[in-house]
């Protein structure tokens, strides 16, 4: 188990063809992750973000009271990690690391990507 965890820290991010990467970058521009830097659940989510090669804005709610206030006011609670998803019909606030990871994998990892690296 420990070896798998260490390997996941040093593994390389997913490589996509440039056109697909631009498309993914455009889609992730509507996402923001509210986090606390030392939160183990936030670290878990950020590890998947790195492995999937996603550019998601990081909002440190521990060091910036504006982010903490926004998370509390609009998300409904001061809990991290929280993924803010900007949608046409209003923002969606997704809590719980496993739910965030599931969302990221479903929306940004193809079956071929997951076959190459199941830990992504």
User: Mean pLDDT, consecutive 10-residue segments, the chain of 120 residues?
Assistant: 50 82 94 95 94 95 95 95 96 97 92 66
pLDDT at residue 10, rounded to an integer = 61
Distance, in Å, from the CA atom of 91 to the CA atom of 88, rounded to the nearest integer, reads 8
pLDDT at residue 112, rounded to an integer = 72
Residue 48, Cβ density class (10 Å: 0-12 exposed, 13-18 middle, ≥19 buried): buried
Distance, in Å, from the CA atom of 98 to the CA atom of 113, rounded to the nearest integer, reads 19
pTM for this one? 0.84
């Amino acid at each position: 188990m420990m070896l798998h965890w260490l390997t996941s820290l040093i593994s390389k991010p997913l490589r996509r063809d440039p056109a697909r990467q631009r498309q993914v970058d455009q889609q992730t521009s509507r996402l923001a992750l509210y986090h606390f830097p030392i939160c183990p659940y936030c670290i878990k989510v950020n590890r998947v973000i790195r492995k999937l090669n996603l550019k998601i804005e990081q909002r440190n709610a521990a060091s910036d009271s504006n982010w903490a206030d926004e998370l509390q006011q609009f998300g409904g609670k001061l809990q991290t990690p929280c993924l803010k998803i900007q949608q046409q019909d209003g923002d969606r606030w997704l809590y719980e690391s496993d739910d965030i990871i599931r969302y990221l994998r479903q929306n940004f990892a193809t079956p071929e990507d997951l076959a190459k690296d199941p830990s992504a």
